[in-house]
Structure 1
Amino acid sequence: MTNLASSLRVVPVESRADLKRFIALPWSIYRGDPDWVPPLKRDVRAAFDPAKHPFHLHSEVQPYLALRDGRAVGRVCAIRNRNHERLHDESVGFFGWFECVDDPEVAGALLDAVRAWLRERGLTAMRGPTSFSTNETCGLLIDGDPGPPVVLMPYNPPYYPGLLEAAGLRKVKDLFAWLMKKGDWPPHLFRAEKVATRRYGIRIKTMDMSRFDEELGRVQRLYNAAWEKNWGFVPMTEAEMDHMAAELKPILDPELALFAETPEGETAGFALALPDFNQVLRRMNGRLFPFGILKALIYRRQITCMRVIILGLAEEWRGKAVDVLLYLWLFRKGIAAGMTSAEQSWILEDNQKMNQAIERLGGRMYRTYRLYEAAL
């Protein structure tokens, strides 16, 4: 527990009542903000249930609430990602789930609680926000076009960066989001498409939902191999991949889950775009019941955007236009489903090859997200 001279207290979330207040806090922070997308409360509750979220099988978390005169005014979660420590051989801890009123005292107290928790575990740096890892929602929106976030991307008030900086955190890495609109396709893409299909014999197959578990295994192997050299990447465990697949399966369109295969049947690449289900969640106020499911069925037919969340290639197939082939298939399928735009996110700021490739596709870098770090 943290005590300050004022009536402000930071307390660990330990009871079901505490967690309920933790989950409910954003509704007061974002009251009146038309761009905020309320999460499903049941999903947030499940994230902190060790029996339901596999992150807890290998790592530790401690959520906190900031209270002033008994009223919740901020929240944060301290995170120890043991898989990150082992893979990168660095004693970095994390923070996430940060929400706060516009008050540096509150933000400072919350982050001090995280610092103390991480120090007790021998960690020497704090990085975030991540919820819980870079495989999930991460980063702070710092710049870009106005409007609501797309599915699984963060959103925050414009004063959040100032709060973190006032608490001693500094930029460690920026993440880019790119936007492509229907019809913004340079002619050279179609020439590249012919190279992939005619010269290399690459063919596209959509995910076979009748063999979902087997297809998921293919995705996991390629995902972990394609991203293993990326800064901050931690491979997903089999349990984490299964958990994410179960969460995304209700909104997944198999026509937007694509494998690029060689003539011999080997997997050269995989791409996944999700319909922007945030366009549905905005209308549901965090609840599926009693009428949320009906709303979801109605409003999902009106989705106009998708997010390209994964596009990875086997190393030997990079630079051979397979990525262009996958992108064009996704865009065509999206347009056929009534979508007029696509966000490609997120891309590390120093991943020049990927950023340049998306720019050549006709994309526009339209939002920037930031991860922060501070020494402990």
Structure 2
Amino acid sequence: MSIDVVLCEKSKHFNDFLHVPFQLHKYNENWVPPLHHTIKRILDKKNPFYKEAEINHWVAYHGNKAVGRISAIINKLHHKIHDEKIAFWGFFECKNSNEVASALFKHAERWVVEQGMQGMRGPMNPSINYECGLQISAFDTKPYIMMPQNPEYYINLVEQEGYKKVKDLQAWTVGMDEIAFDPKKIQIIKKICEKYRITIRTINMKDFKNEIKLIVKIYNDAWAKNWGYLPLDVEEFYYLASELKSSILPNLIFIAEVEGEPCGFSVGLPDLNQLLIHARNGKLFPFNFLKLLWQFKVKKTINQGRVPLLGVLQKYQHLPIGGLLYYEYFRKIDQLDYQQGELSWILEDNHAMQAGLELINATHYKTYRIYEKSLVNIS
């Protein structure tokens, strides 16, 4: 097979880059099409992420047909924080062909080596603060909002190129008919809350920008010691959150306070993927918007949610604030008649979080893997 890999420098190539997953996965009933607008917004150089990062995209062609794509990212902020010459790969899509995958990775690897990098890690789309990880289990399930998905054969394509596991990310789920809150533990939590004057409030949408600043401040303290941590930038987070603002349910986003001082937060989202799975061409307008509105208003399609973010200031992590935030979240989604929720992602070695999830009968049901490859001997 003759494969040509082209750097995306023209609008035609970028358009092909966007459409590769639609060609590959359109017959997969579990596949949730990404919205073109969302991907363009993430990749747009106006995204504040690119103040500290560079990205290149490639498309693989067999004849005139696009059969694969990949991006390579050099994140200068990661280098400053972690002092390692690691680049990242992401937005990988490929037909079931080792030849095509190899051609794509070789182009990405060559570019990052030319920039002085000594290894490449991924998938990151485009960083750990966005969708990341290669799905390695539960291929018969649909992804929740803002979680990646891929066919099982991608595992072979990536590992055949010499990429090894560096970290696993877990998705946990619990049904509302299965969830268990031990009354004794709830009473203990409530007593601790009274003792330390811990209160929980919902986000103030009328003060959205300042609430975003508050969440980012807590996140950057809470996650600072986690593997792969990359600080959230207020401007970048607001750039991304503003697109979700219209679909946010304020009563699913909580701020915890100790004696009036904000100390923790959790972000819960309705699973919009239950709607987006019906937008098979990746566009909302003109017809898909009406279809999705009908699904939402008439069929009441959304009956599950996801908690993508939760954080507690380090100085308060000895208190059960995280458990209290989860308790409030599940109490609220029960009122919304949601049937289940996903808590993701959780680092494989975050045993404290896993123990807490087990206490409410949540189960680890899906795994995403981060891979890495040394490029020291690549020329």
Same fold (TM over 0.5): yes
Letter in 2 for 1:191: Q
Q: Distance in 2 between matches of 1:206 and 1:128?
A: 35
Q: CA shift at 1:69, angstroms? A: 1.4
* Residues 113-171 of structure 1: per-residue CA shift (max 9 Å, x gap): 11101001000000000001000000011013621100010110010011101111111
CA RMSD of aligned residues (A): 1.3
Give the letter for the 2:21 counterpart. Answer: P
Give unmatched runs, 5+ long, in structure 1.
1-5
- Structure 1 counterpart of 2:311: 312
Aligned to 1:240: 236
Q: What is the CA distance between 1:199 and its match in structure 2?
A: 2.4
Q: Is the 8 A contact 1:13 1:63 kept in 2?
A: yes
> For 2:192 and 2:311, how far apart are their aligned partners in 1?
15
Aligned pairs, number: 369
Residues 99-126 of structure 1: per-residue CA shift (max 9 Å, x gap): 0000001101111111101001000000
Q: How far apart are the structure 1 equivalents of 2:104 and 2:339? A: 41
Contact 1:196 1:325 in 2 (8 A): no
**Displacement after TM superposition at 1:195 (Å):** 3.0
How far 1:338 moved relative to its partner?
2.1
State the distance in 2 between where 1:277 and 1:199 align.
Answer: 38
What residue number does 2:124 align with? 130
Query: C-alpha offsets along residues 32-59 of structure 1, whole Å, 9 cap, x if unaligned?
Result: 10000001112212222213x2222221
Counterpart residue number, 2:42: 47
Q: Name the structure 1 match of 2:366.
A: 367
Which one-letter code corresponds to 2:291 in the other structure? K
**Which amino acid in the other structure matches residue 163 of structure 2?**
L
The reply on whether 1:118 has 2:117 as its aligned counterpart is no
The one of 246, 250, 268 aligned to 2:246: 250
Residues 262 and 268, structure 1, Cα contact 8 Å, conserved in 2? yes
Q: Deviations over 1:247-301 (max 9, x none)?
A: 22122110001011122x1012100111001001001121110033333333344
CA distance in 1, matches of 2:357, 2:273: 23
C-alpha deviation, 1:321, in angstroms = 1.6
CA contact (8 A) 2:212 2:234 kept: no
Counterpart position of 2:351: 352
State the partner residue of 1:276. 271
Which residue of structure 2 aligns with residue 199 of structure 1? 195
Whether the 8 Å CA contact 1:256–1:330 is kept in 2: the answer is yes
Tell me, yes or no, if the aligned pair for 1:96 and 1:131 is still in contact at 8 Å: yes
Do the aligned residues in 2 keep the contact of 1:258 with 1:326 (CA within 8 Å)? yes
Asked if 2 retains the 8 angstrom alpha-carbon contact of 1:180 and 1:364, the reply is yes
Instruction: Look up the SS of the partner of 2:368 in the other structure.
Output: strand
CA drift at 1:358: 1.4
Q: Where does the alignment leave 5 or more consecutive residues of structure 2 unmatched?
A: none
State the shift of 1:28 in Å. 1.3
Distance 1:196 1:234 in 2: 32
- Mapped contact 2:169–2:368 kept (Cα < 8 A): yes
CA distance in 2 between partners of 1:339 and 1:217 (Å): 29
- The farther-off stretch of 232-241 and 180-189 is 180-189
Confirm or deny: 8 A CA contact 2:139 2:151 kept in the other structure. no
- Give the equivalent residue in structure 2 for 1:225: 221
- State the SS of the aligned residue for 2:151: coil
The corresponding residue for 2:79 is 85
Alignment of 1:323-342 (within 5 A): 323-342=322-341
- Does the CA contact (< 8 Å) of 1:270 and 1:311 recur in 2? yes
Q: Which residue of 1 aligns with 2:293?
A: 297
In 2, Cα distance between equivalents of 1:83 and 1:356: 32
C-alpha contact (below 8 Å) 1:204/1:260 kept by paired residues: yes
Q: Which amino acid aligns with 2:325?
A: L
Task: State the AA in 2 paired with 1:15.
Answer: K
Q: Distance in 1 between matches of 2:263 and 2:51?
A: 32
Deviation of the 1:348 alpha carbon:
0.8
Identity %: 38
* Contact 2:135–2:150 (8 Å) recurs in 1: yes
